[in-house]
Structure 1
Amino acid sequence: MMNVENGVHDAHYFVPSPSRWPIVGSVALFCMGLGAALSINNVSGGVWVLIAGFAILLWMMSGWFGDVVRESERGNYGQQVDYSFRWGMSWFIFSEVMFFAAFFGALFYTRLISVPELGLPSDTQFHLWPNFQAEWPISTGPKSPDYQSMHAFGLPAINTALLLTSGATLTWAHWGLLQQNRRVLSRGLAATIALGALFLSLQAYEYHHAWTSLNLTLASGAYGATFYLLTGFHGLHVLVGTLILITMWLRVQRGHFTPLHHFGFEAAAWYWHFVDVVWLMLFLFVYVI
């Protein structure tokens, strides 16, 4: 039975017309996979196939999301569709939580189980790693890694402050939307985007400093691998979040969103706050402890 009293279900659920974008996305992924394989094997033209795959993917994303925006602005989405969007975004963020949980699990396993076990006295340990000491970051071994670890204070602390501030400016923008203050909404979004771009710039500088001055590379043992894996994927998420916020800002300039209908903005805010929380965990477990 259709329940219309709780404000969730509608008499008619909007079903979009058949779309070409899924097959376009499949072609993009095929080209990206093929181009990557050809490039790795130094096959002529592989790089161009990879670039074409990325270009097709961007075209697909622009077209598909554009269709969703136009359908929303035409009023095709009722409360039940909005409810479905919220569940979909919730499960997507949950999948991202599991994504980072796997990387944090690898870090914890390395530091709390693998490294201590390798440090236990044994014949194998004596013959293979006679000078090995169970400490983090690993600084001894058959080939002592000549690198320095990253410190928490400096650029990492500044980036932490930037992301925390960006969460506040985004909340300020959301408040402006609810109060129908478009100026506050626009300025809050612009400030959040600027803080995200500054974070990425400082992280790029941090990587350059770590690679050239500290000799900290992906080949710097377990420490280097986990450091770049965790912070690199987080930086990728900050980049994606910044692009999403730029899209929201452009929509605001076109007069989109109302206090009652603005799930696109809310979804972007959820994603950004999730990125903030992940960085706080990274700062604690990668830089501080």
Structure 2
Amino acid sequence: MNGYLVLAISAGAVLGLGVAIMIAAFMPSHPRLGDALAALDERLHRPPLSKSAPRSTWLVSLLVPWLRQLPGAVMDADLELLGIERDRFLLHRAGTALAYAVAGPVLGATLAVLDAGIGFTVPAVFSIAGAVVGWNSAGAAVGTRAERGRMEMRFALVSYLQQVSLLRFGGAGVATALTVPARLLSDSWAMRRLHDELDLAERAGEMPWEGIRRFGQRIDLTELADVSSIAATAGQDGGAVVTTLLARAESLRDELLADEQADANRASGQLSTPGAVQVFVTVAWVLYPVAMALLTSA
């Protein structure tokens, strides 16, 4: 078989599979019975659905179980924090891997046109390497976004704790003090997520600190568990929490400032290395002619 034909078929197959995966995410279908029944239970958490959430088509049902077995799994807490469904993330990850894998057939076709005389080994290696890089890069991007989101959530939690303390100092109840600031500060995505969890707990007939505790467990944020414990103690035993909440907000702010200072020092240390290399190269460039002239005259 002609080499050009094989490369064209390979590139077309990879491209067609990627297009099929993207189309499958938008194909309408009937919901599964288990998902429909779970949606009626207000006690269960339901992450916000995205407009691009994948439907249960035959292609999705075929690919998702196989994609779940591949290495490089992403934590459920990261996806929960970002509001991304795992099936949609897996399809996006597979599409990214296929897009990177197209580099192999494209390279092979280019080398064939240039008559470089290289077989199919090099393009195949590039395809495999591209697929691995694309798969891992998509997972790493989600992890990076999740860590950044947790940092933003911690900064928002400092303001939230201060507002809760002020309301408690003004005589508001524990439940009211926990609910009102999340609604008033809902201009940020962190407070909107917290408000959604508090609203879900209220509709389920639970106390606000239960919703905060459950939310902290799902997104792996221990600071929310601390707030839940403080509020639960005040709500059940009637203890005063104004001083405790303010102290927790102060300690959390100090921790965040310390982390920011450590990151700044680390960045400054990394910037010093290129500067030292630049000085060394400049000195070598200036002294090289003089040294060569002395060695030649000697």
- Please indicate the TM-score interval, normalised by the length of the shorter structure: under 0.3
**TM-score, normalised by the number of residues in structure 1:** 0.27
Instruction: Indicate the structure (1 or 2) with the bigger Cα radius of gyration.
Output: 2
**TM-score, normalised by the number of residues in structure 2:** 0.26
Please identify which structure carries the higher helix content.
Answer: 2
